[in-house]
Amino acid sequence: MKNISIVVVAFLWSSITAFGQLSNIQSTNTFNTLPKERVYVHHNESLLFSGEYLRYKLYCINKKTKAASDISKIAYVALVDKNGEPVFTHKVRLDQGSGYGDFFIPTTVPTGSYKLLGYSEWMKNFENAEFFTSDIHVINPYQVASESYLEPQLDSAQQAMVANASISKERPQFKAVKSAFLNLSLDKSEVGKRTKVVANISADNLAAQQGDYAISVRKVDSIPSPEQISSMSFFNNYVLKGINDPTPGTAIKRLPELRGEVISGTILEKESQKPVEGQRISLSMPGDNFLLKVATSDANGRFEFITEREYDNVNAALQILSDDWDQFDVTLDSHNLDLGSVDPTDFKLSKKMKAYILEKSIQNQIENAYKELRSDSVLLAQHRAPYYREFTANYNLDDYTRFNSIQETIVEVVDQVSVRKLNNGERVFEIRPEEGFTDLSLLPMVFVDGLFIKRHEDFMDFSAKKIESIGFSRDKVMLGSQAFQGVLFFKTIEGGFYNEFYAPHIQNVELFKPQARKIYFNQVYNDGDGNGRVPDFRYQLLWNPNLDVSSGKEEVVFYTSDVPGEYELVVEGFTSNGNPVSIKERFVVK
């Protein structure tokens, strides 16, 4: 047991010093030796209507090795308007250099031209021109469109000129795109409605089998849309061109998220608004899979919590770990980009498009009305439990005589735990160590339904009859630079203590959390399953951001909808050694 404790303390001490090490690295600019990164975003569509989903997969590439980057563990995707104002900004957790997400286009987003951006925190040190950018057009039939997107009224002579000009601007005839690394074949080139389609995909070598790919099958819109950037085009123009390493002397202001997601902010003196150095602060994420982080502010008042574990929390609690907490202002960093204006491609809506826009809008409304029947599955966050969630003793209070107060319950039921009164009259919990005498200068780490309780007195008068169980561990622990004598955990019967508890020193914050992992819905039709009575106006027949060809061959199955027309199957991604893979094939639904 002693050896285990030594290992844990050594590991924790490395975490304690990490922030200081990062600050020193930042000041000496030794991060200049890290290669640059490039981000590629494969998205399902470049022309979207209100009520549709923009789905994407992001790949972070090491510009030097030309393969998946292991530098950043987090990347970002944003959709901005012409003025650089964000429609959304997403944080994406990277697994071996890639991640994915989606965004529902609400009716609050007006018709217009937008830019889709992809980048990492490390890339912010360099020119914005190094960000991934792609044009997105949005049509919102529920709002009056700006005149700049409406085709002007023309007289008969002008209409003839436009008609002649448009003939020369027709879309080029589609040509299938093949890859040297993956082979794809469709079992049908023409297919009926609600019919099974099979795409057979095979990988030629081990690097292709171990690659990272996404597949999309979507109807080709009759309205012209911006051309999407293929992984091949991205590789040639973003990865192969330009310098691989930062220019010597580049000021490194943004550290890469090397170990995981960074939640950062600033502590200032309330009156002077000067930065506060050496102030400890905690971030508590309550719930069954609760997490706690402790950080210390640097000379600029800056603090960082590094969260390498996944979490489902939307809200969290910040607490200054000193008695003079009311003397400070704490703010978390925003993630908005200061881009200025951007230059997306423009488009015009004509009267000839009215019937199509109306038809598709009605179909989208019907699809969304039946969304519950075709909903995606959100995967719960998974992580290994931290040491402070492992208890050596657990008391289910229904097994004992119930007492009204917490103090009585601790005294009469829970062994090795006590309550003592401080000189200022406040009561605190105390856990006796496994060996030696209790260090009265250290208090236990106390949680109630996963919420960290810094000031124990705030919880002492809570009704013990609302508590289901009490667990604790007696080992001395350290988190960040804060030491605790043991861990004490209270679980309430209702389980929602965080939602009803208030303390003035707790600052509740909304987390800018990474996108949840999902399994995207794939429609299947079987005889007699009842699906035949449900309308099916899907334009997106398939979206799978984790196409797996590790066995060398993969059979991808999807079903068509009630919407006839031409559909495009697209595979984008990279082999394990960094070669880009782009495949495009089309088929017709009649």
Span 60-80, pLDDT tens digits: 999 999 999 999 999 999 999
What's the confidence (pLDDT) of residue 13?
35
What's the confidence (pLDDT) of residue 322?
93
What's the confidence (pLDDT) of residue 198?
98
What's the confidence (pLDDT) of residue 153?
67
| Among 263, 468, 252, 292, CA closest to 389 | 292
Work out the pLDDT band at 25, boundaries 50, 70, 90: very low
More reliable by pLDDT, 248 or 370: 370
Of 133-147, 220-234, 333-347, 377-391, the least confident: 333-347
What's the confidence (pLDDT) of residue 533?
84
Residue 82 has pLDDT above 80, yes or no: yes
Work out the pLDDT band at 126, boundaries 50, 70, 90: confident
Strand partners, 451: 448
Structure pTM? 0.89
Structure tokens at 155: 């007289």
Structure tokens at 165: 């000009």
Of 16-25, 206-215, 470-479, the least confident: 16-25
- Over residues 238-251, mean pLDDT: 81
Q: What would the DSSP string read from start to end of 279-305?
A: -EEEEEE-STT-EEEEEE--TTSEEEE
What's the confidence (pLDDT) of residue 29?
53
What's the confidence (pLDDT) of residue 152?
84
More reliable by pLDDT, 160 or 276: 276
Work out the pLDDT band at 31, boundaries 50, 70, 90: low
What's the confidence (pLDDT) of residue 253?
81
Rounded to whole angstroms, the Cα distance separating 507 from 53 reads 34
What's the confidence (pLDDT) of residue 11?
37
Report the mean per-residue pLDDT for the chain: 90
pLDDT > 70 in the chain, percent: 90
More reliable by pLDDT, 441 or 102: 102
More reliable by pLDDT, 8 or 163: 163
Residue 433 has pLDDT above 90, yes or no: yes
What's the confidence (pLDDT) of residue 250?
73
Residue 127 has pLDDT above 80, yes or no: no
- Over residues 96-111, mean pLDDT: 97
SS3 314: coil
Of 14-28, 246-260, 344-358, the least confident: 14-28
**Residue 429: φ, ψ to 5°:** -80, 155
- Over residues 257-277, mean pLDDT: 96
What's the confidence (pLDDT) of residue 221?
92
**Residue 133: φ, ψ to 5°:** -135, 145
What's the confidence (pLDDT) of residue 30?
57
85: Cβ–Cβ under 8 A, 6 or more apart, which residues?
none
What's the confidence (pLDDT) of residue 582?
98
- Over residues 217-241, mean pLDDT: 94
Rounded to whole angstroms, the Cα distance separating 476 from 499 reads 30
What's the confidence (pLDDT) of residue 10?
36
Rounded to whole angstroms, the Cα distance separating 17 from 9 reads 12
Which single residue is written with the structure tokens 């439990």? 385
Work out the pLDDT band at 527, boundaries 50, 70, 90: confident
- Over residues 23-42, mean pLDDT: 71
Work out the pLDDT band at 204, boundaries 50, 70, 90: confident
Work out the pLDDT band at 101, boundaries 50, 70, 90: very high
219: Cβ–Cβ under 8 A, 6 or more apart, which residues?
539, 540, 541, 563, 565, 566, 567, 568
What's the confidence (pLDDT) of residue 16?
36
Residue 125 has pLDDT above 50, yes or no: yes
143: Cβ–Cβ under 8 A, 6 or more apart, which residues?
107, 110, 111
**Residue 89: φ, ψ to 5°:** -135, 125
pLDDT > 90 in the chain, percent: 80
Rounded to whole angstroms, the Cα distance separating 223 from 200 reads 30
